[in-house]
Amino acid sequence: RTVYVNGDYLPENEAKVSVFDRGFLFADGIYEVASVLGGKLIDYPAHMVRLHRSANELGMRFTVSDDELLAIHRELVSRNGLEEGAVYLQMTRGATDRDFTFDTEKLTPTLVLFTQARALIDSPVATRGMKVITIPDLRWGRCDIKTVQLLYPSLGKMEAKKQGADDAWMVRDGVVTEGTSNNAFIVTRDGAIVTRPLSNSILPGITRATLMAYSEKNGIRIEEREFTVEEAKQAAEAFITSATVFVGPVVAIDGVELSDGKPGPVALGLRQTYIEESL
């Protein structure tokens, strides 16, 4: 694989980042994951708008132009012959001797991109659905910023695996915030889709926004409000959205089956719509 590091395209085993990089020492970095279908980037502009927002919120310098970023994405997709998968981008504040304080102006941000080939359309998530467990949301208070502080979500997904599930939905103040790497939705008995409103407690998902626009266009009612685990367990269906899964039907929550333990028609329909409209 060819990867991109600070201006260079290199074989992955030759690419290097400083041991003093603040992304490595302090998780002082942000990222984006944009999916690729048929060699084409999906929802790309929205991912870059969010990257700028993340940088702004953390006071990080942005030293690369939008044109360059797009060119790097396209170059990597082309050099690696990526048909289906994702482009991962990480930007950190830069490298400097270890210190809790820093002078952003004196630092040069580190920029790394690489591709990951993965079957996105023919995925088991669509055919058998996902089982989720629930865990307390112990993340920091700025989950709206897409930072590389992913230890808690990573451990949460490991706990889910240990329990024979696929993912964990996090719960704060009695209501579901989001999945470890996706936004959470339920479908009510009368066919409306419910997802919590945006706040500092969740990532403003790009797939979430696009899906809501498609739903509105197709006359599906959207209720943007919080929901509890109890309500979710009694819902007609549940699903998640993320750049790499698109729409993933949820078939069980804490061992309680939804839609007879099979992907529900609303989730599958939305998944189909999302893929068709994206291609």
Active-site annotation, residues: 146
- Which residue, 53 or 262, is less far from ligand PDD as judged by CB? 53
**Total residues in contact with ligand PDD, by rule CB under 6 A:** 14
How does 121-130 read in b/e, with b if 16+ C-beta sit within 10 Å?
eeeebbeebb
By CB under 6 A, residue 183 contacts ligand PDD: yes
Entry field: residues in the chain: 279
By CB under 6 A, residue 207 contacts ligand PDD: yes
- Selected from 54, 195, 242, 259, the binder of ligand PDD by CB under 6 A is 242
> Which listed range, 56-64, 160-168, 175-183, 223-231, lies at the site for ligand PDD (CB under 6 A)?
175-183
- Selected from 3, 243, 258, 270, the binder of ligand PDD by CB under 6 A is 243
Measured CA to CA, the distance from residue 180 to residue 137 in angstroms comes to: 9
By CB under 6 A, residue 238 contacts ligand PDD: no
- Selected from 203, 212, 253, 258, the binder of ligand PDD by CB under 6 A is 203
- Selected from 114, 208, 227, 232, the binder of ligand PDD by CB under 6 A is 208
- In this structure, what token pair is assigned to residue 247? 């729409």
159: Cβ–Cβ under 8 A, 6 or more apart, which residues? 133, 135, 168
- Which residue, 80 or 278, is less far from ligand PDD as judged by CB? 278
By CB under 6 A, residue 33 contacts ligand PDD: yes
Determine the 3-state secondary structure of 196 from DSSP.
coil
Quote the DSSP letter at residue 107.
P
- Selected from 80, 110, 115, 182, the binder of ligand PDD by CB under 6 A is 182
Strands 222-224 and 193-195: what pairing?
parallel
